[in-house]
């Protein structure tokens, strides 16, 4: 089965392909099928943005389409940056600058009050136009310093330590992060749905 992942982010393609590796899928990006336009993510929720990206691709292809929107929500900052996670430090700034901007925002928040969550909503659109949403949320805390490498397009991984773990996302192996992450939770639900659809089609 071929699925279009509505993104230009190569790191996201790699991560989601890894998450979906148990299924016999060909996951291709917008770039892979010659779509170069960007979607303006102006929705007011993760679900709205995920659906907008998926609908954009679904209008141009006849295959299954999936997209996601993710962000970090910090309790002490009233849920910021949330849906603005990619741009809240400004446009065209480096991943390191985004992480360091977050540390500055959190400099007066004491340890013990630095709770946060990483949130993902994955959207799936079938060739018949039906739409499905899958949510993943993982609680954790924001570190007082950068821990681990700054991975491309994943600026907050070096700040976020999931509950019950001693390492930040960035200090974990890609396999371990995929196993527990917010995106992993959402796409495991999506994967279960696709597996059920495949089984039903084969009956």
Does 7 score more than 90 pLDDT? yes
**Which token pair is 107?**
């400099």
Give the C-alpha separation, 198 to 200, whole Å: 5
pTM over 0.85: yes
The CATH number assigned to the domain with range 2-201 reads: 3.90.950.10
Concatenate the DSSP letters of all residues of 167-189 into one string.
S-GGGS-HHHHHHHSHHHHHHHH
Cis? peptide before 66, omega within 30° of 0: no
Edge-to-edge strands, sheet with 131-142: 26-29, 2-5, 64-74, 115-125, 131-142, 160-162
What's residue 199's pLDDT? 60
Catalytic residue among 38, 69, 128, 175: 69
Nearest alpha-carbon partner for 135 in 143, 146, 127, 124 = 124
What's residue 19's pLDDT? 87
Q: Does 32 qualify as catalytic in the annotation?
A: no
Banded model confidence at residue 201, pLDDT cuts 50, 70, 90: low
> Which pLDDT tens digit goes with each residue over 81-91?
999 998 999 98
Supply the mean pLDDT for the chain: 93
Does 203 score more than 90 pLDDT? no
For the chain, domain boundaries: 2-201
**Residue 35, burial from CB neighbour count under 10 angstroms (0-12, 13-18, 19+):** middle
> Which pLDDT tens digit goes with each residue over 29-54?
999 999 999 898 899 999 999 999 99
Mean pLDDT of 176-189: 93
């Amino acid at each position: 089965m071929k699925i279009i992942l509505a993104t230009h982010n190569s790191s996201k393609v790699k991560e989601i392909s890894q998450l979906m590796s148990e299924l016999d899928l060909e996951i291709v990006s917008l770039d892979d099928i010659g779509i170069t336009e960007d979607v303006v993510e102006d929705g007011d929720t993760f679900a709205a943005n995920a659906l907008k990206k998926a609908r954009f691709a679904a209008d141009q292809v006849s295959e299954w389409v999936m997209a996601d929107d993710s962000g970090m929500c910090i309790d002490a900052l009233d849920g910021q940056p949330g849906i603005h996670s990619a741009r809240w430090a400004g446009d065209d700034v480096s991943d390191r600058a985004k992480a360091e901007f977050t540390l500055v925002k959190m400099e007066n928040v004491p340890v013990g009050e630095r709770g946060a969550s990483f949130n993902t909503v994955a959207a799936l659109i079938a060739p018949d136009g039906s739409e499905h949403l899958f949510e993943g949320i993982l609680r954790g805390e924001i570190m007082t310093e950068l821990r681990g490498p700054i991975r491309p397009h994943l600026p907050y991984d070096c700040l976020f330590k999931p509950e019950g773990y001693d390492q930040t996302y960035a200090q974990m192996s890609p396999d371990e992060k995929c196993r527990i992450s917010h995106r992993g939770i959402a796409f495991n639900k999506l994967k279960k749905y696709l597996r059920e659809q495949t089984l039903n089609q084969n009956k």
